[in-house]
Amino acid sequence: MGKRKRNERIGALIKILSHQPNTVFTLNYFSEAFEAAKSSISEDIVIAKKMLEELHLGTIETIAGAAGGVKYVPLVTPERAGFFLEKVCKKLEDPQRIMPGGFIYMTDIISSPSMVETMGEILASQFLNQEIDYVITMETKGIPIALMTAKALNVPLVIVRKNSKVTEGSTVSINYLSGSSNRIQTMSLSRRALKEGAKVLIVDDFMKAGGTAKGMMDLINEFKGEVQGIGVLIATREPEDKVVEHYTPLLYLEEVDVKNRRIIIAPNPKITTKI
Amino acid sequence: MGKRKRNERIGALIKILSHQPNTVFTLNYFSEAFEAAKSSISEDIVIAKKMLEELHLGTIETIAGAAGGVKYVPLVTPERAGFFLEKVCKKLEDPQRIMPGGFIYMTDIISSPSMVETMGEILASQFLNQEIDYVITMETKGIPIALMTAKALNVPLVIVRKNSKVTEGSTVSINYLSGSSNRIQTMSLSRRALKEGAKVLIVDDFMKAGGTAKGMMDLINEFKGEVQGIGVLIATREPEDKVVEHYTPLLYLEEVDVKNRRIIIAPNPKITTKI
């Protein structure tokens, strides 16, 4: 790519690293690409890391050893998460979003690329210290958030289907009780989609009783996988007693008052408070 | 954010701009954030733009006038597109991907975050000069690529559903002939999802006869929308005579030879050749 000055190197380094979060690049890679000494690249990284952290734009981690190098981690600080999630709540509280049956229209928000990217980064930030091989979601509405979470963690996304498809080869199907509709439904997943014994993060857009998440847990179990966590955009406060025990919502839906046309929704304080 | 040196400013500027492609930021924004004169920010941008272009990492465009500023454009050059698409073909040509019925297993590829991000950027690069208000796709498998295309273009994603859902309010449904299965199917879209008269880019993962794309065109028509283009990851060579006329595939699937277990697939030369 040709010899580069420090300010160009820092710009290029940040662009390359942040385009592929959690992907390790060796110092050699940058040293060759920019025709600069490894010691210069090391100094570039110190400057870039400090700046990113000070501006709450994520961080750069150094991995020692033979497979070592540096990677960009899209860590969202509680402060920035709070600022963003308050904005999302403001949007969601619009009474025009109340649908017949007390549902909230949120399709525009959960398929806005810039919003779901930040949601994915906040979710990923909660599970950065866990070993995760896959992010899994059930079609359809959770896919954008789950994809962005998978991107931030640098792992493949796996999409559970409502029916088995001819294009996916042999599948494993299970029946599950959808808590909200109280109906038996089917979910299925291609045998090829998950390696046995994989560590999995479940991501979805909405959780009421938790039936869908529980179904995914059972399905992952069929693949001898291990559920490392459940992250959702919104969990309802009621029922408090959900069929899954541990889950991490970005937002709590406190109440949808159809009569007075009022929605009460708030960020999860565990995410927006510094520990 | 505090006073910043040039090399920090260039790094931060590239991070902020490239995180939200095609989003205009004013020079004032950076001038205030970094406590630097606008003339210094202008110089930073010249350096950043030159470096990004030389390294094939996209470009920065300046928008003049009252609503002016700068934006990052994730332009993928034909050279880089070719390099990437050849790699995708290599992966797809693996005979183990052949499924009963001559289908190709590609779920892993179309839900790999880093791959779909580049696919989305390449698709977006083909339509950068068109005015586009929405990217639209039909659930399920095209969603990741469509989301990343929408992200690159900085427009909302709209997901057409196979059935109308209670959470989406009143919907418009149409019947369409799925060319490959030769069956009448239904697709539906929330009335709220598309503004009337919108300019729309259709994106999908796979096109054989084009029935699904044609269905989406008819649906967009119901919203008095205007189709600006159709972008797909893979189009089959056969049938040559599809029900839609203009479409832009990244790859052409030439042949799936089930008997000899051979897949022939190649990049679309119109995308990988410099004009």
Whether residue B54 is found in the same domain as residue B161:
no
Query: Of B73, B90, B120, which residue constitutes the final position of a domain?
Result: B73
Interface membership of A96 toward B (CB under 8 Å): no
**Chain-chain contact of B7 with A12 (C-beta, under 8 angstroms):** no
Which positions of chain A have pLDDT values less than 50? Answer: none
Can you give the pLDDT at residue B37? 96
Question: Within a domain: residue A100?
Answer: yes
User: In which domain, by residue range, is A130 found?
Assistant: 78-272
Q: Give the minimum alpha-carbon distance from B55 to chain A in angstroms, rounded to a whole number.
A: 6
Residue of B nearest to A168 (CA): B105
Helix (H) or strand (E) holding A59: strand A59-63
Whether residue A94 is found in the same domain as residue A171:
yes
Whether residue A129 is found in the same domain as residue A234:
yes
Interface of B with A in 29-68 (CB under 8 A): 47-48, 51-52, 54-55, 57-58
Q: Give the minimum alpha-carbon distance from A103 to chain B in angstroms, rounded to a whole number.
A: 6
Can you give the pLDDT at residue A1? 59
Question: How many beta carbons lie within 10 A of that of residue A259, not counting itself?
Answer: 5
For residue B96, give the CATH number of its domain. Answer: 3.40.50.2020
Which positions of chain B have pLDDT values less than 50? Answer: none
Query: Of B28, B50, B73, which residue constitutes the final position of a domain?
Result: B73
Can you give the pLDDT at residue A83? 97
CB A7 within 8 A of CB A15: no
Question: Residue A245, Cα to own-chain centre: how many angstroms?
Answer: 19
Question: Within a domain: residue A90?
Answer: yes
Can you give the pLDDT at residue B79? 95
**Chain-chain contact of A105 with B15 (C-beta, under 8 angstroms):** no
**Chain-chain contact of B169 with A117 (C-beta, under 8 angstroms):** no
For residue A35, give the CATH number of its domain. Answer: 1.10.10.10
Kind of pairing, strands A226-236 and A199-207?
A: parallel
Residue of A nearest to B1 (CA): A55
Can you give the pLDDT at residue A94? 97
**Chain-chain contact of B151 with A113 (C-beta, under 8 angstroms):** yes
Q: Is the peptide bond before B140 cis (omega within 30 degrees of 0)?
A: yes
Whether residue B261 is found in the same domain as residue B155:
yes
Interface membership of B243 toward A (CB under 8 Å): no
Whether residue A37 is found in the same domain as residue A154:
no
CA separation for the pair A150, A132 (Å, rounded): 10
H-type alpha helices, chain A: 6-19, 27-33, 38-54, 78-92, 113-126, 143-153, 211-222, 269-272
CA separation for the pair A15, A72 (Å, rounded): 10
SS (H, E, C) chain B: CCCCCHHHHHHHHHHHHHHCCCCCECHHHHHHHCCCCHHHHHHHHHHHHHHHHHCCCCEEEEECCCCCEEEEECCCCHHHHHHHHHHHHHHHCCHHHECCCCCECCCCCCCCHHHHHHHHHHHHHHCCCCCCCEEEEECCCCHHHHHHHHHHHCCCEEEEECCCCHHHCCEEEEEEEECCCCEEEEEEEECCCCCCCCEEEEEEEEECCCHHHHHHHHHHHHCCCEEEEEEEEEEECCCCCCCCCCCEEEEEEEEEECCCCEEEEEECHHHHCCC
What residue has token string 């599970």?
A127
Which of B105, B114, B140 is nearest residue A169 as measured by Cβ atoms? Answer: B105
Can you give the pLDDT at residue B178? 81
Can you give the pLDDT at residue B95? 97
Interface of A with B in 110-129 (CB under 8 A): 111-114, 116-117
**Chain-chain contact of B169 with A100 (C-beta, under 8 angstroms):** yes
User: Given phi > 0 = left and psi -120 to 50 = alpha, else beta, which region is B224?
Assistant: left
Interface membership of A3 toward B (CB under 8 Å): no
Interface of A with B in 164-203 (CB under 8 A): 166-169, 190, 192-193
Whether residue B166 is found in the same domain as residue B207:
yes
